[in-house]
Amino acid sequence: MPTHEGQRIRLSADLGNVVVRTQNSGKVDYRVHLETDASQKDAQQLLKSFTVTSRETSDEVYLKAQTSAHSTGRLWATLYLNIPKSASLDVSTGGGNIDAGEIDGRVTLSTAGGNITASDIGGPARLDSGGGNIVARSAAGELIANTGGGHITVGSIGGNAMLRTGGGHIRVTSIQGTAHLETGGGNITLEHSGAELAAETGGGEIEIGEAAGLVRARTGGGGIRVVRMFGPTDLETSGGSIYLTQIDSAVKASTSDGGITAWFVAPAKLPGISELQCSSGDIVVHLPRELPITIDAQVQRGDEHRVIVDPAFPLKVSYGDSPKGDRTVRAEGALNGGGEILRLRTVAGNIQFVLSDMDKQSQIYKQQMSKLQQQMDQVQKMLQPQSRVLEGASGESQQGTGEGSHP
């Protein structure tokens, strides 16, 4: 079918895998590959029951693939589309995988249960799967991706991002715009965040490389690691440790069952109060000698735990009684004339102030970024162009229901 500049290519299929490739000519080519079990009754009739119709309007080329509601048996379908690279694409299937090549326009891909794989997307994109994995090499604009339970793996995102999965991992190389990442229980890994970031998982780990804007991260049970942060940060975990390598802005971090390690840098912006809180873990703070900051630290159960202060920091350590009858330990002081408040609280752990070793801090920073980049290298291998065979996600129909099966 011929197309013209600016047209959208839209495909709606009851079932089946969909493979989309691009070409420079101004037309849409399509073909269908069908398979069925030759031993079943009315096998030939089942093949004939699958039809593809097409029509063109001023705005779009529309293709509809469907099987007869009265047909019974097992049918496997794969639809192949060749479209102009500059076109916009809208594909939905009731039960197979979708594999799309490089497309410059807006992209919408939806499957009731299979995997979605996309190469470079030049415009805004929305990718939805009922439960499969979602993989995209890059998206130049906004990306919205949702899956009921699979993993989400993306290279670079040039705009805003909203990525959600019911339970899989989320792994992204970089997001330039505002990002919202959410999983019901998997890990979240992001190498570079260019703007405001919100990350939440029901029980996995959160690992962030460099974050340029505000960071809010929550996990119901895993650890949180941020290698370098340039904006305000708010972190919370119910059951893991928090590790922060380079801090130059206000940070709030709390954990119910784990420790906190934080390396501050100088000169630091630190606009506002920084708070680190533990219920049953240690807090270790590495401070540069020249950092102007006001310390307010307290251990609630001072009979069993203590505050450890490097001699380089002239802090006053005092003891008292809490309303709960515990003997508290408190450390206070204004370092280098004082500055923004750093408030530390732990119920059943130690608090330690360590003179920062800049060489060691730099070494740890490089190690953490290298480790994260190695993880991302594995992700990049997944994103490389390759001959992708759609096995297993057969877009299978049984008893004429149009329900698809997938691995």
CA 202 to each of CA 165, 168, 188, 224, 238: distance values in angstroms, whole numbers, following the listed order: 11, 11, 11, 13, 10
Name beta bridge partners: 296.
332, 343
Tell me which residue of 252, 259, 262 sits closest to 282, measured CA to CA. Answer: 259
String of b and e for 6-44 (b: at least 16 CB within 10 Å)?
ebbbbbebbbbbbbbbbeeeeebebeeebebeeeeeeee
Residue ranges per domain, the chain? 1-114
pLDDT means over runs of 10, the chain (407 residues) = 85 95 89 90 87 90 87 86 93 95 95 94 97 95 96 96 96 96 96 96 95 95 93 93 93 95 84 93 95 95 92 94 82 95 96 92 88 80 56 43 34
pTM of structure: 0.90
Name beta bridge partners: 307.
351
Chain centroid to Cα 323, Å, comes to 43
CA 236, CA 277: separation in Å to the nearest integer? 9
pLDDT for the residue numbered 219: 96
Torsion of CA 10, 16, 20, 26, to 10 degrees: -50
pLDDT for the residue numbered 156: 95
Torsion 226-232-236-242 (CA) sign: positive
Can you list the positions of beta strands (E) in 269-340?
A: 274-278, 283-287, 293-299, 307-309, 316-321, 327-335
Token couple for 314 = 């002239």
For the chain, helix, strand, coil in percent to 5 are: 10, 50, 40
pLDDT for the residue numbered 402: 37
pLDDT for the residue numbered 6: 75
